[in-house]
Amino acid sequence: MAEDRVESLRADVIAFGRVVEGRFRQALTAVDTFDPELADEIIDGDAEINQRYLALEGECIDCFALGQPVAGDLRLVTAAFKILTDLERIADLATNLAALAETLVGDDTGETFAAVPLVEIGEFAAAMLDDALHAFAEGDAELCKGVASRDDRLNERCAAASATIIRQLVEYSGEADSPIAAAPAAAREVLVLVRDLERVGDHAVNVAARTYYMFEFDDALLY
| Chain centroid, CA 153 distance in Å | 16
Please give the tally of structural domains in the chain. 1
Rounded to two decimals, the pTM is 0.90
pLDDT of residue 107: 44
Q: Say if 66 falls within a structural domain.
A: yes
Q: What is the pLDDT of residue 184?
A: 66
Q: What is the pLDDT along the chain (223 residues), one digit of tens a residue?
A: 456 788 899 999 999 999 999 999 999 999 888 888 899 999 999 999 999 999 999 999 988 887 677 777 888 999 999 999 999 999 999 999 998 876 665 545 555 566 688 889 999 999 999 999 999 999 999 999 999 999 999 999 999 999 988 887 776 665 555 555 555 677 778 888 899 999 999 999 999 999 999 988 777 777 6
Considering the domain boundaries, does residue 221 fall inside one? Answer: no
The CATH number of the domain holding residue 27 is: 1.20.58.220
Residue 118 lies in a domain: yes
Q: Looking at the domain assignment, is residue 153 inside a domain? A: yes
- The reply to whether 223 falls in a domain is no
Domain coverage including residue 89:
3-216
Assigned domain for 73 exists: yes
pLDDT of residue 169: 74
Could you tell me if residue 222 is inside a domain? no
